[in-house]
Chain A
């Protein structure tokens, strides 16, 4: 049986935290450039240029793209034919977050208690989603999730008679309500199905899919394009100051659900869409 040292997980998570925050992924940069070529608003173009330029400066100066370096959300897949030695999984992940946020000079944005609100001072704990899968590898997807856009997210329990138009309306209302506060151009993750708790997890998973790629199901891929077009007709624009670029992508993920349910969740991420992947 393959053995993986816990400290290898720590080291990987640490690296992902720093990389995510200082090196804007190629898919996002490409989407911003594409948006710039289409944007009609002069203020909008100016903002898109600043965002692209900021990514270069962040990389060159080894500084975080945004001062909100997020809460670490970790989706981890553990191969069932391996075992972790020298520590436990969650401790290893949190140690990685702690070191990444310390060594990378990233802001500590997590409070220990949602009501008492004292900062934990090392950005832990992370939000960890674990799945046991076939194989002997570990796959880690990390999202450094900013608070502003997260606050603009929503979940709604539709019933099975809901039409596609009604779901569109909910997605659009969520985007409009967030408006400038979500730091547009945004990435929209939509989770459809599952249960009350699982739809938002699907929406968050949807955010992890590369910008510019589409759902493998043709009909859903079309729906993604249709929703993106509708969102970009709202006029909200970059930073909400007006324009044609309100979202860079809409990613939809589905899951089976109960005969009487149709949960829909919308999870929004800002243009500083910090997602990174590693395999051990």
Chain B
């Protein structure tokens, strides 16, 4: 197993960026990323309210912003719930998804086909992650309250590649390695 490395990425991303990623790699993202979760995904139907091609989508919804701060706490929600809506977004060219928890077979297949990767950030590190957010803007569905679609400007936002575009899956590899019969 090769040693995991740190890759810096700035969207928009290309197939080449994604091919270079391997499950277990550490990533630092800077630039624009989009935020959406359950209720917003149900409203996407044909087209999401952001440019999916080359984009990064973070499954999250922050806590309200206290006075004097850019954003409240923001961390990942369970990606599995977004599975039914994901292949359509990958077809449009979405390159990275950030969340927590596992992905289904159909999503993994679509990730191979359309060249995309799935990153995880530890759930429950939302106070820390908020420090990497430099700017926030609501871009769609403000009526959804905490579930509105946001655009974030992030700096060195840390994540780990859980599933790469060749089918490498850190959930499976890691579990197998540390399992005791």
Interface residues of A (CB under 8 A from B): 40-41, 43-44, 47, 50-51, 53-54, 57-58, 61-69, 105-109, 117, 119, 121, 148, 151, 179-181, 183, 233-244, 270-272
Contacts and interface: CB of A to CB of B under 8 A. Distances in A.
A50 B128 CA distance: 8
A169 B100 CA distance: 26
Given A105-B63, A105-B64, A241-B174, A270 B123 contact: yes
Interface of B: 4, 24, 39, 60-66, 69, 72-75, 77-78, 80, 100-102, 120, 122-128, 130-131, 144-147, 160, 162, 170-171, 173-181
A45 to B, nearest CB: 12
B120 to A, nearest CB: 6
B78 A148 contact: yes
Contact of B124 (A61, A183, A235): A183
B78 A151 contact: yes
A47 B170 CA distance: 14
A107 B63 contact: yes
Contact of B178 (A64, A237, A239, A270): A237
Nearest to A66: B124
Contact of A107 (B146, B170, B178): B146
17 contacts: A44-B178, A57-B128, A63-B72, A67-B61, A67-B75, A68-B77, A107-B72, A108-B146, A119-B144, A119-B147, A235-B177, A236-B175, A239-B100, A240-B101, A242-B171, A242-B178, A271-B124
A239 B66 contact: no
B124 A105 contact: no
Contact of A238 (B24, B74, B122, B130): B122
A244 B124 contact: no
Given A66-B75, A239-B122, A244 B39 contact: no
Contact of B60 (A53, A67, A242, A270): A67
Contacts of B124: 51, 54, 65-66, 183, 270-272
A106 B63 contact: yes
Nearest to B173: A242
Nearest to B3: A42
